[in-house]
Amino acid sequence: MESEQLYHRGYCRNSYNSIASASSDEELLDGAGVIMDFHTTEDDNLLDGDAASPGSNYAMSNGGGVASSTTHLLDFLEEPIPGVGTYDDFHTIDWVREKCKDRERHRKINSKKKESAWEFTKSLYDAWSGWLVVTLTGLASGALAGLIDIAADWMNDLKEGVCLSAMWFNHEQCCWTSNETTFAERDKCPQWKSWAELILGQAEGPGSYIMNYFMYIYWALSFAFLAVCLVKVFAPYACGSGIPEIKTILSGFIIRGYLGKWTLMIKTITLVLAVASGLSLGKEGPLVHVACCCGNIFSYLFPKYSKNEAKKREVLSAASAAGVSVAFGAPIGGVLFSLEEVSYYFPLKTLWRSFFAALVAAFVLRSINPFGNSRLVLFYVEYHTPWYLFELIPFILLGVFGGLWGAFFIRANIAWCRRRKSTRFGKYPVLEVILVAAITAVVAFPNPYTRQNTSELIKELFTDCGPLESSQLCQYRSQMNGSKAFTDNPNRPAGPGVYSAMWQLCLALIFKIIMTIFTFGLKVPSGLFIPSMAIGAIAGRIVGIAVEQLAYYHHDWFLFKEWCEVGADCITPGLYAMVGAAACLGGVTRMTVSLVVIVFELTGGLEYIVPLMAAVMTSKWVGDAFGREGIYEAHIRLNGYPFLDAKEEFTHTTLAREVMRPRRSDPPLAVLTQDDLTVEELQSVINETSYNGFPVIVSKESQRLVGFALRRDITIAIENARRKQEGIMLNSRVYFTQHAPTLPADSPRPLKLRSILDMSPFTVTDHTPMEIVVDIFRKLGLRQCLVTHNGIVLGIITKKNILEHLEELKQHTEPLAASWYYHKKRHPSSHGSNGKPGSRVHHVQLIRSFQDGWGGGGGDDSEDEEEQVCLLNGSNL
Amino acid sequence: WDPGQTVHLLFMYVCVMLHRTHNQMKTYLLQNSEDIRCKCICPPYRDIEGQIYKQNVSLKDCNCLHVVEPMPVDGKDVEAYCLRCECKYEERSSGTIKVTIIMYLSILGLLLLYMVYLTLLEPMLKRRLFGHSQLIQSDDDVGDQQPFANAHNVLSRSHSRPNMLNKVEHAQQRWRRQVQEQRKSVFDRHVVLS
């Protein structure tokens, strides 16, 4: 056996050298060389090459960054089997292999670019395509955000009335130039007709109120119905907020069609309907999904991104930054959001691209100017009043409230969603949406704070009382006198308007809390940011007004004495609303840095960073005390997506041997031998098992590892051989070795499958602590890893096994609802990927200890394990 | 007949057309005179009620003195009155709003029509044309569970169909199958997005 191994090593080196000699110092570490291996049938010629000088080139290949030059040989031979290198639905990608593929492609383009002007142009295009694709993504997401903003505003006002002079204007735009000068009539203008005015002909009175009420419910229901129908008929993936799924996709999962054209279109269209229907949901989360769809669609224009799943995820990271950038008008917040919340792999290059995408998107949205206020969001506010140290106490209290709300919301919403998932109740999505929309509309209409658009509510709560304000919240008693000056905006006793507003706000708070729990997870596009912010803003405003009144009536307390003199303006209720909004959002999503930056970009006031930080941090602490995961992680876990969270720590002392499959009671590992199987036997192995990959061993006796072959590649290769090669029959011998085994003379032509064999599968020894294994999976993005003992294959650990193990250790009562598990049953032939064993087989063929491979350091490791096979479901073999 | 001249004329024509469309676009999208306003909100002052004034003036004229007309107070109080007024310059693009809303509504309308066609009309037509058996069959051939069928699909995907119509038909079929699949996983099995 040892000689066998040595033979392989020798061979590989030979073939390597022969290519290298044909092409000066080509660096042959990557997959391309292997595809070539497959397609050329003249491997033996290569073998005859120079076996004389293995050492030097070998060293060079190890050296890493050897500048590679052109290889006509490679170009000529590189014609991959169609389908190899792609992934099946609901599978995890292999980051290492994809990155490696990209490096190879890059190297090829670089080596070619001096050949001709055309090649040079192509290389320039390739170098620029990253920036081009994020530019296009930014443009598209900015434009779509503008469209959604304008259309949602208009549709929202359609519930109340219509603009007769120009149907396409909303209320505000309709009364753009009207001459109603008094405060009382500021919202009225002859062009804008409420439904009661149109139908009954009277604007006041109980009849018109009922008519308006009825029309409001009617429109809300029809919008909600249309939205859920469109989602159901055209693109079921368009429902929900999309952020949990995007997080999972960015961590390397494939959900086909999730970021497609139809999803984009339906999500854009129905998002407007859903927002306009008055449901307690926002458009911010779905905008991230919309931007990611744009990123995905544009990446198909550039081969660099369309053919490489890892590179595509870099574009998606940038796209999600652009999405938040337009959702909140916070470009930097968007970049940080992408970094903190959604991205899994975020190198500096992606940071700059995200920054640029966010910039372009914000620029486009600003030039569309959807709100007519030259701002990117409706609820942009500007304060310049100072805050005082004492106010940190109410701010921290708001943080506690936010944390409690977040923990409560996550628990309640997950329980409700689990119910929807597991019981028959989930069978009626349309009915559920209609029901929730009806309840929302019926309860919301009587209360002015819930009737209006949630964004407008937040705007009103954020805005401080000034001469421009006409809302009930600002009816302070002094204002009624009329004679008092407003310039210094002093603290005032609350008037009756403020008290009634308080009541209405309290009712609105309860209503929002209850409805949001039932709304998030409906089968319409539904974001969580706006309702959470609204809840926080309501609570914050209430606290703010309470503190303000306290300060007014007790201005001689030692707390207020120093800085809150009579007539001075010392409390800003709007600021409390903003801090509350940040705290609640932080409690729900557990974001910290990005959230503070987003809110601070909303206000444009640097001086409020400390209050925001205090509140957000408190809310995170309080929330974490009740459960460590944010709403998105909770939904990921509920759906059972294979998401290996990089934030969690693994502190247990289990060993690889205990986690690997097969377990003791299981049937033994399904393996392939390298040269004594027939096509028929291979097919029967594939038909009888549902694993997605098989270790290839030397022989039944030795059990030493040769490599790893993927189910999908095997099926494709056999099918391909049947079509293109003559003489392949059911009893043809299949071999993974370099040379065909010696066969009897009358046997049919053997089938060589070496090209689809991954000869450098990642291996660990059976005594490797799971801590390290989990770390490898997280950091390298592996999907599976073989466990060996003295070079003998013992078992396999997949990402799924690790997730199950983590779940077991957490001792959660509910079983892991593994979505991919079902899919595994449904797609037994799910393919893996790959099929291109690295050329540097000889390193990996002998089993290294894991630490050796890892200790090589960051730059080296990815080259070592380049050809990983990742099959989430190939759990054991 | 001179080809050069024809090309020249054609070019001229295109230029003229472009110019015309450009002008039209300008009138649609660029600011027409109604798209700017200066809005001054003046709080109550002495015995004068709070007032809101809107005027169609440019940014540099957007102040109380130009906008508040008629001035409710006389000469010496103007300054005091105007100090309390807050003036905001706002602009919008009514063309963009119009185009956006119309575009949105037409897309929505098309989608609704297509939805009605897909859910109501098509099954009816099919039933009338082919009878029941066809329907059941077409539902059945969705999933081919054989492992090698997948490879077959992958390999045959690369062969392009010559006929355009076939291609469209094929794409539509595939899209439908995908949506069917998505619907199953979201609404029936609840494996994603629940």
Per-10-residue mean pLDDT for chain A, 877 residues long?
38 35 32 33 34 33 33 37 71 82 88 88 89 93 92 91 86 79 70 87 86 92 92 89 90 88 92 92 91 93 88 92 91 92 87 93 89 78 80 92 94 91 85 93 91 88 71 62 42 73 91 92 90 93 88 74 65 88 92 89 81 92 90 89 80 83 80 82 84 84 84 82 77 81 76 80 88 86 85 86 84 44 36 32 28 30 30 33
DSSP one-letter string for A612-624: HHHHHHHHHHHHH
Instruction: Tell me how close the Cα of A681 comes to any Cα of chain B, in angstroms.
Output: 14
| Residue B125 DSSP label | H
What architecture is domain A132-176+184-368?
A: Orthogonal Bundle (1.10)
- Cα dist. A724→A323, A836, B155, B162 in Å? 47, 20, 11, 22
Q: Using CA atoms, how far apart are residues A114 and A129, in angstroms rounded to an integer? A: 19
Both tokens assigned to B159? 């062969």
Residue B84: which of A181, A373, A467 has the nearest Cβ?
A467
The residue whose two tokens read 């779905």 is: A286
Cβ distance A639 to B191 less than 8 Å, yes or no, reads yes
Per-residue confidence at B16, pLDDT binned at 50, 70, 90? confident
Coil, strand or helix: which one is A455? helix
CB count within 10 Å of CB A106 equals: 15
Residues 316-375 of A with CB under 8 A from B: 368-369, 372-374
- CA A190 from centroid of its chain's CA atoms: 47
Q: Is the peptide bond before A744 cis (omega within 30 degrees of 0)?
A: no
Q: Using CA atoms, how far apart are residues B66 and B70, in angstroms rounded to an integer? A: 10
Cβ pair B53, B39 in contact under 8 A = yes
Nearest chain A Cα to B53, which residue? A181
Instruction: Tell me how close the Cα of A661 comes to any Cα of chain B, in angstroms.
Output: 23
Q: Using CA atoms, how far apart are residues B56 and A79, in angstroms rounded to an integer? A: 67
Q: Which of B52, B89, B81 is nearest to B65 (CA)?
A: B81
H-helix or E-strand containing A18?
helix A2-22
Cβ distance B56 to A177 less than 8 Å, yes or no, reads yes
Cβ distance B149 to A233 less than 8 Å, yes or no, reads no
Interface mutation target, options A232, A272, A474, chain B, most CBs of B under 10 Å: A232
DSSP one-letter string for A651-668: ----BHHHHSBS-TTSPP
Which one-letter amino acid corresponds to residue A389?
A: L
Residue B48: predicted pLDDT: 75
Cβ distance A482 to B44 less than 8 Å, yes or no, reads yes
What architecture is domain A656-813?
A: Roll (3.10)
Instruction: Please indicate whether the domains covering A389-476+492-639 and A656-813 agree at the CATH topology level.
Output: no
Both tokens assigned to B118? 């897909």
CB count within 10 Å of CB B168 equals: 11
Q: Give chain A positions within 8 Å (CB) of B182.
A: 235-237, 257
In CATH, the number for domain A389-476+492-639 is: 1.10.3080.10
Nearest chain B Cα to A486, which residue? B84
Nearest chain A Cα to B112, which residue? A230
- Cα dist. A717→A12, A676, A720, A753, A795 in Å? 22, 17, 5, 7, 25
- Residue A405, chain B, CB below 8 Å: the answer is no
pLDDT in tens, B100-147: 999 999 999 999 999 999 888 888 888 888 765 544 444 444 444 455
- Residue B148, chain A, CB below 8 Å: the answer is yes
Cβ pair A793, A697 in contact under 8 A = yes
Residues 6+ apart with CB under 8 A from A183: A470, B49, B50, B51, B52
Residue boundaries of the structural domains of chain A = 132-176+184-368, 389-476+492-639, 656-813
Q: Give chain A positions within 8 Å (CB) of B98.
A: 166, 168
Coil, strand or helix: which one is A179? coil
- Burial label for A654, CB within 10 Å (0-12, 13-18, 19+), is middle
Residues 6+ apart with CB under 8 A from A187: A171, A175
- Residue A490, chain B, CB below 8 Å: the answer is no
User: Taken in order A638, A643, A649, A652, is the CA torsion positive or negative?
Assistant: positive
Nearest chain B Cα to A177, which residue? B54
Instruction: Tell me how close the Cα of B164 comes to any Cα of chain A, in angstroms.
Output: 21
Residue A245: which of B100, B188, B193 has the nearest Cβ?
B193
Interface mutation target, options A79, A150, A258, A713, chain B, most CBs of B under 10 Å: A150
Instruction: Tell me how close the Cα of B132 comes to any Cα of chain A, in angstroms.
Output: 22
Sheet of B86-91, strands arranged across: B51-55, B36-42, B86-91
Q: Which of A577, A503, A576, A499 is nearest to A534 (CA)?
A: A577
Coil, strand or helix: which one is A122? helix
SS (H, E, C) A572-609: CHHHHHHHHHHHHHHHHHCCCHHHHHHHHHHHCCHHHH
- Cα dist. A43→A33, A594, A738 in Å? 12, 55, 8
Q: Give chain A positions within 8 Å (CB) of B43.
A: 467, 486
Q: Tell how strand B51-55 and strand A733-735 pair up.
A: unpaired
Cβ pair A675, A737 in contact under 8 A = yes
Instruction: Tell me how close the Cα of B7 comes to any Cα of chain A, in angstroms.
Output: 30
- Residue A417, chain B, CB below 8 Å: the answer is yes
Residue B151: which of A180, A240, A715 has the nearest Cβ?
A715
Nearest chain A Cα to B68, which residue? A181
Alpha helices in chain B (DSSP H): 3-29, 64-67, 78-84, 94-116, 122-130, 132-140, 147-157, 164-183
The residue whose two tokens read 């049919």 is: A748
Instruction: Tell me how close the Cα of B64 comes to any Cα of chain A, in angstroms.
Output: 14
The residue whose two tokens read 């706000």 is: A505
Both tokens assigned to A62? 């190890």
Cβ distance B154 to A83 less than 8 Å, yes or no, reads yes
Q: Which of A874, A642, A668, A644 is nearest to A758 (CA)?
A: A874
- Cα dist. A620→A14, A378, A399, A405 in Å? 59, 27, 8, 11
Instruction: Tell me how close the Cα of A115 comes to any Cα of chain B, in angstroms.
Output: 30
- Residue B80, chain A, CB below 8 Å: the answer is no
Interface A-B, measured as beta-carbon pairs within 8 A, has a size of 207
Q: Which of A290, A282, A297, A307 is nearest to A246 (CA)?
A: A290
- Residue A482, chain B, CB below 8 Å: the answer is yes
Q: Give chain B positions within 8 Å (CB) of A177.
A: 34, 37, 54, 56
Residues 85-114 of B with CB under 8 A from A: 86, 90-94, 96-98, 100-104, 107-108, 111-112
Backbone angles phi, psi at A762, to 5 degrees: -75, 130
Residue A333: predicted pLDDT: 92
Residues 431-450 of A with CB under 8 A from B: none
HSE of A274, CA atoms in CB hemisphere, 13 A: 36
- Residue B63, chain A, CB below 8 Å: the answer is no
Both tokens assigned to A392? 């940190």
Cβ distance A236 to B187 less than 8 Å, yes or no, reads yes
Per-residue confidence at B1, pLDDT binned at 50, 70, 90? low
Cβ pair A536, A582 in contact under 8 A = yes
Residue A408: predicted pLDDT: 94
Cα Rg for chain A, rounded, in angstroms? 32
- Residue B122, chain A, CB below 8 Å: the answer is no
- Cα dist. A10→A4, A54, A62 in Å? 10, 9, 16
Q: Is the peptide bond before B70 cis (omega within 30 degrees of 0)?
A: yes
Cβ distance A819 to B100 less than 8 Å, yes or no, reads no
Coil, strand or helix: which one is A740? coil
Residue B90: which of A373, A487, A828 has the nearest Cβ?
A373
What phi-psi label fits residue A734: left (phi over 0), alpha (psi between -120 and 50 degrees) or beta?
beta
Q: Using CA atoms, how far apart are residues B163 and A763, in angstroms rounded to an integer? A: 49
Q: Give chain A positions within 8 Å (CB) of B155.
A: 82-83, 716, 719-720, 723
Residues 6+ apart with CB under 8 A from A638: A414, A417, A418, A421, A817, B194
Q: Using CA atoms, how far apart are residues A141 and A326, in angstroms rounded to an integer? A: 8
- Residue B84, chain A, CB below 8 Å: the answer is yes
Alpha helices in A346-447 (DSSP H): 348-368, 392-422, 429-444
Cβ distance B192 to A245 less than 8 Å, yes or no, reads yes
Both tokens assigned to A253? 């999962």
More confident residue, B26 or A279: A279
Cβ distance B155 to A720 less than 8 Å, yes or no, reads yes
User: Taken in order A226, A229, A234, A235, is the CA torsion positive or negative?
Assistant: positive
Q: Which of A558, A694, A595 is nearest to A334 (CA)?
A: A595
- CA A794 from centroid of its chain's CA atoms: 35
What pTM, to 2 d.p., does this model score?
A: 0.80
Both tokens assigned to A339? 């970094």
- Residue B186, chain A, CB below 8 Å: the answer is yes
Instruction: Tell me how close the Cα of B161 comes to any Cα of chain A, in angstroms.
Output: 16
